[in-house]
């Protein structure tokens, strides 16, 4: 595990993999390819890039994706109709709900990536009792054990809904990804929101200890990918499409590069993230590719250090301490 140097920038990269489970409560799937081939090809390409550049990432995965089949219903303290979209089939019929090959792709790499958790079913933690999250994490632990994976040491909550820290600790989880508090948003004014999304800059954040858990902070919206570019199979708002694609890609490339350079120059911390589906098209990839090469360059020059989420455990010793402020 790397150890933090106070004079260098610190960078964490995380990717959420949820496929059909991300919006199953809304029955929305138009952001995905029909057979998940685009998403799997994108993940493969990302892992190959990480191998070439020696960049470790934290992959937070919805546990149900690692099943190869299921009956379509799971006993437990769940909200009514929570499983109505579970097809009760298998990986050959519904790969958006069952995709255990994802684990093999991540494990079969030269880089030692982290396999974190995104709960078992993308449960909304602030809307369910403590026993629901406990049930989910128990199921995740069983699946990971069956697949020969270390139990998760970090978690990304669906929709950044956080609750039940004591339950998390009981499952030996040490690191939580949280949105930045009081993040500056443009509000509901459409013109301000449009301008903000095009001219955003990534704030340096911090790593802190809260209730004996390490919290790594990130923007509430994806930061490795951009809203003004197509996200998965969805086109951006028509207002963004007025701007040439190349200009929008350049804006995102500079956003990533400037964020990492700022952390390097100030010796501070940033956490960049996105979903697999956001990245899964030909438009988001070029800025991410360039951004990752810039990250590797600064790392090789000793200007930044790369930390998986689980690496952050033990780096902050007190609830009053922070790293990267």
Among all chains, which residue has been given the structure tokens 């079913």?
A: 121
Mean pLDDT of the chain: 92
pLDDT at 318: 47
In order of 41, 51, 103, 105, 315, the CA distances from 48 in angstroms are: 11, 5, 15, 10, 29
Say what the pLDDT of residue 319 is.
40
User: What pLDDT is attached to residue 316?
Assistant: 72
Chain segment 313-322, per-residue pLDDT in tens? 977 754 445 5
Tens digits of per-residue pLDDT, 266-303? Answer: 999 999 999 999 999 999 999 999 999 999 999 999 99
DSSP symbol at 315: S
**69-92 mean pLDDT:** 96
Task: Give first-to-last CA distance, the chain, whole Å.
Answer: 22
In a domain, 321, yes or no: no
Of the candidates 237, 239, 202, which has an alpha carbon nearest to the alpha carbon of residue 221?
202
Assess whether pLDDT exceeds 50 at residue 265.
yes
Which tokens go with 173? 């989880």
Rounded Cα–Cα distance for residues 253 and 222 (Å): 14
pLDDT of residue 173: 96
Q: Which of 232, 291, 286, 304 is CA-nearest to residue 257? A: 291
Within a domain: 4 = no
Rounded alpha-carbon distances, angstroms, from residue 166 to 157, 163, 171, 218, 228: 15, 9, 9, 22, 38
Closest CA to 238 of 248, 228, 246, 247: 228
Residue 40 lies in a domain: yes
pLDDT of residue 189: 66
Task: Report the C-alpha gap between 297 and 318 in whole angstroms.
Answer: 33
Q: Give domain status of residue 323, yes or no.
A: no
Any domain includes 303: yes
Average pLDDT over residues 85-104: 97
Instruction: Tell me how far CA of residue 224 lies from CA of 125, 154, 215, 256, 268, in angstroms.
Output: 25, 20, 19, 7, 18
pLDDT of residue 186: 61
324 domain residue, yes or no: no
Q: Is residue 3 part of a domain?
A: no
Residue 168 located in a structural domain: yes
More confident: 201 or 3: 201
Question: Which domain, by its residues, includes 231?
Answer: 9-315
Average pLDDT rounded to a whole number, residues 152-176? 93
Report the domain count for the chain: 1
pLDDT tens, position by position, 41-69: 999 999 999 999 999 999 999 999 999 99
CATH number at residue 202: 3.20.20.370
Q: Would you say residue 185 has pLDDT above 50?
A: yes
Poorest-confidence range of 67-76, 187-196, 306-315? 187-196
Residue 2, SS3 per DSSP: coil
Tens-digit pLDDT profile for residues 102-132: 999 999 999 999 999 999 999 999 999 999 9
- What is the average pLDDT across 5-31? 94
pLDDT recorded at residue 322: 55
Let me know: does 288 contact 226? Beta carbons within 8 Å: no
């Amino acid at each position: 595990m790397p150890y933090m140097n106070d004079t260098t920038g610190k960078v964490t990269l995380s990717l959420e993999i949820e496929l059909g489970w991300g919006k199953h409560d809304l029955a929305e799937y138009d952001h995905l390819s029909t057979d998940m081939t685009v998403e799997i090809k994108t993940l493969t390409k990302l892992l190959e890039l990480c191998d070439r550049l020696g960049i470790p990432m934290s992959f937070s995965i919805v546990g149900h994706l690692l099943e190869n089949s299921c009956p379509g219903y799971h006993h437990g303290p769940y909200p009514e109709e929570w499983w109505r979209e579970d097809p009760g089939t298998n990986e050959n019929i519904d790969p958006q709900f069952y995709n255990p090959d994802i684990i093999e792709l991540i494990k079969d790499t030269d880089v030692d990536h982290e396999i974190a958790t995104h709960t078992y079913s993308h449960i909304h933690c602030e809307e369910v009792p403590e026993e629901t999250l406990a049930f989910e994490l128990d199921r995740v632990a069983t699946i990971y054990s069956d697949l020969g994976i270390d139990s998760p040491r970090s978690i990304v909550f669906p929709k950044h809904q956080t609750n039940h820290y004591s339950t998390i600790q009981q499952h030996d989880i040490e690191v939580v990804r949280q949105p930045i508090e009081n993040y500056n948003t443009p509000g509901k004014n459409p013109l301000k929101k449009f301008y903000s999304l095009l001219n955003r800059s990534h704030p340096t954040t911090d790593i802190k200890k809260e209730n004996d858990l390490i919290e790594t902070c990130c923007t509430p919206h994806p930061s490795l990918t951009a809203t003004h570019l197509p996200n998965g199979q969805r086109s951006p708002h028509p207002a963004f499409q007025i701007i040439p694609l190349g200009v929008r890609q350049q804006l995102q490339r500079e956003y990533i590069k400037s964020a990492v350079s700022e952390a390097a120059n100030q010796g501070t911390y940033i956490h960049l993230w996105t979903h697999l589906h956001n990245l899964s098209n030909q438009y988001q990839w070029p800025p991410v590719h360039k951004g990752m090469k810039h990250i590797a360059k600064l790392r090789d020059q000793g200007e930044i250090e790369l930390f998986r989420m689980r690496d952050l455990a033990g780096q902050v010793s007190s609830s009053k301490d922070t790293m990267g402020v």
